[in-house]
Amino acid sequence: MSVLLLSSEDVETYARMTDVIPAVEEAFAAYERGSVQMPAKSYVELERYNGDFRSMPAYMDAGDWDAAGIKWVNVHPDNPKEHGLPTVMGTMIYSDPETALPLSIMDGTMLTMQRTGAAAAVATDHLAVEDASTLGIVGAGIQSYTQVEAIAEVRPITEIVISDLDEERVRRFIDHFSGEFDVREGSIAEAASCDVLSTVTPVRDPIVSLADVGDHTHINAMGADAAGKQELETAVLSAAKLTIDDHDQTTHSGEINVPYGRGEITDPDIYAEIGEIVTGTKAGRTDDDGITVFDSTGLAIQDVAAARVTYEAANDADAGTAFDLIDTS
C-alpha cells in the first residue's frame, strides 16, 4: 500500500522519451475514441499573490490499460525575483483507477516538459516530411530542450538553428547540444525555414511571418497557453494544414485563440484534431501538403499517460522513495 515519491531527477531519468512518445500517442487516440474523462482545467485565482493554481484531472482507457491522475500546477510570476522559486511548479498524483490508491506522487514540472516534447514528436511524426533533418527552435528556455530530444526520436535531425533574444540562454543551448548536432544561432527566419520548427515562447505579438516559413515546414506551436498569446502570424495559420489538440482549449488559449476570436480563423480552417490523425480517421502529411501546423495546448491525459510509464519504469528500477500514506490496519 506504499506510495512512490519521485523527484524531478527521478522523473527526468525514468520519463524516457522512447516510452513517453508512444504513451502520449495512445492518449491522443483514446481521446479521439471517446474513452477518456477530462474535466476542464479549473483555476484558483490568487490576486493578492499575483498567481494562480490550476487543477488538471483525467482518466483514460487505452484498451490494454487504463490510468487516472491529477496535476496541480501554479503560475506565480513573482517567484523567481522575490522568493527564489520557479514561476511554474507542478505536482502529479498518479492513481490506480480500480482502488483509487495513489500509486505515485511525482514532480509535475519535469513531467510536463517531457510530455510536451512528446506531443510535438507525435505531431512531427505524422505531419513533417519523412526525411526532415533540420530543426528550428524559437525560444531557448527549458521547453526547448525536450523539443529537441523528442523530435530527434522521430526524425533524422542533424542540424539545429536556435533563435532567442537572450544570448546567455542561446549559449547554454548550444553548449548542451553541440556534441550531438550541428547547432548554431540564427534569426527567426532562419529557424522557420527548417524542415521542422518548434516555437516555445510566451509572446503576445506574433514573431513568425509567412515569409519566414519554408515551403514544406512543419510547425509545432507550443508557446501559447493563455488567451491573448500568439507566436505565428495569422497568415501562417491560414496557409497551413492546421491541426489542434483540443477545440475548446485551442480556441480559448492556444495558438489560434486570437485570430479565432476575431473571426480570422474559423472551424473550416481547422483540418483535424491530432487524435483523428493518430487513429487514421484523417490523413497526416500527404505529397500535396506544404506548411503544416500543430497547435498544442497540453491535455491532462498526456500527463496521466506519461505518469504511468514513468511510475512503471521507476518502480521496476526500485527508484524513488516509498512511503505509507494510507493506514489499512
Contacts of 301 (CB under 8 A, 6+ apart): 27, 30, 31, 36, 38, 58, 60
Specify the pairing of strand 2-6 against strand 102-107: parallel
Mark out the alpha helices in the chain (DSSP H runs). 8-14, 17-33, 79-83, 108-127, 142-154, 167-177, 188-192, 234-239, 247-253, 257-262, 274-278, 300-316
CA distance 128 to 59: 30
Is residue 41 flagged as an active site residue? no
Cell of 56: 488538471
For 72-118, the DSSP string reads EEEE-TTHHHHHS--SEEEEEEEE-TTT--EEEEEEHHHHHHHHHHH
Catalytic residue among 41, 71, 229, 241: 71
Enzyme catalytic residues: 71
